[in-house]
Amino acid sequence: MISVKPKIGIIACSGEKLVEGTLTRVATRIVVEKLRPFTTTIICQPLFMAGDINHKGGGSEREFAKKHKTITIEGCDEECGKVAVERYSAPATATIYVKEIMKQHPEFIPNSPQDIGDDGMKLAEIIAQEVAKKVDELYKSQ
């Protein structure tokens, strides 16, 4: 008998003002679309606050993060993803810091929040690979 394990929730900081925020969004899409489509799901950070207020299904974001393992991807030191998950649900299981990965790859310089460019896409792929590694670790540990 095959047992289906719970998916891992991925929460991108999504900061619209910073290029790092765009990198978190693109990396998240790469993880859930291409790298780990069967073991991950996206959770929107802003829906943690808005969810229970005026959207019939929104509260499920909070419930999901209470009962499932989550990974936040942070674009800056504010750690908006981590803070929101902990405030409205439970502490994130793991956190990936985009700036740390960028420091390891100074050869790639993303363009802008609106268009991260080819270098930005390469960085997003690298970030996504790091997230996928963490997903595998958490998924297997369940």
Partner 1 sequence: MSEEKVYIIPCSGIGKAFGGMCREAAYIVVNELAPEKAAIECLPLIVKGKKEVIDALKANKIITIDGCTAKCAYTDVRVAVREPDAVFMSTDIVKKHRDLKPEKDILILGENAKVLSRKLAENIAEKVEDLYIE
User: For binding to partner 1 (CB under 8 A), which residues are involved?
Assistant: 12-18, 21, 25-26, 28-30, 33, 42, 44-51, 53-55, 58, 78, 80-81, 83-84, 113-114
Query: Shortest gap between Cβ of 139 and partner 1 (angstroms)?
Result: 21
Cβ closer to partner 1: 17 or 67? 17
For partner 1, give the closer residue by CB, 15 or 110. 15
Q: How far apart are the first and last CA of the chain?
A: 17
SS3 42: strand
- Looking up tokens 């499920």 gives 60
Kindly state the smallest distance separating residue 3's Cβ from partner 1, in Å: 27
- Classified as helix, coil or strand, 10 is strand
Per the CB < 8 A criterion, the answer to whether 11 and 90 are in contact is: no
Nearer to partner 1, 33 or 63 (CB): 33
Q: Which residues of 26-39 are buried (b: 16+ CB within 10 A; e: fewer)?
A: bbbebbbeebbeeb
CB of 11 to partner 1, least distance (A): 10
Closer Cβ to partner 1, 29 or 137, answer by number: 29
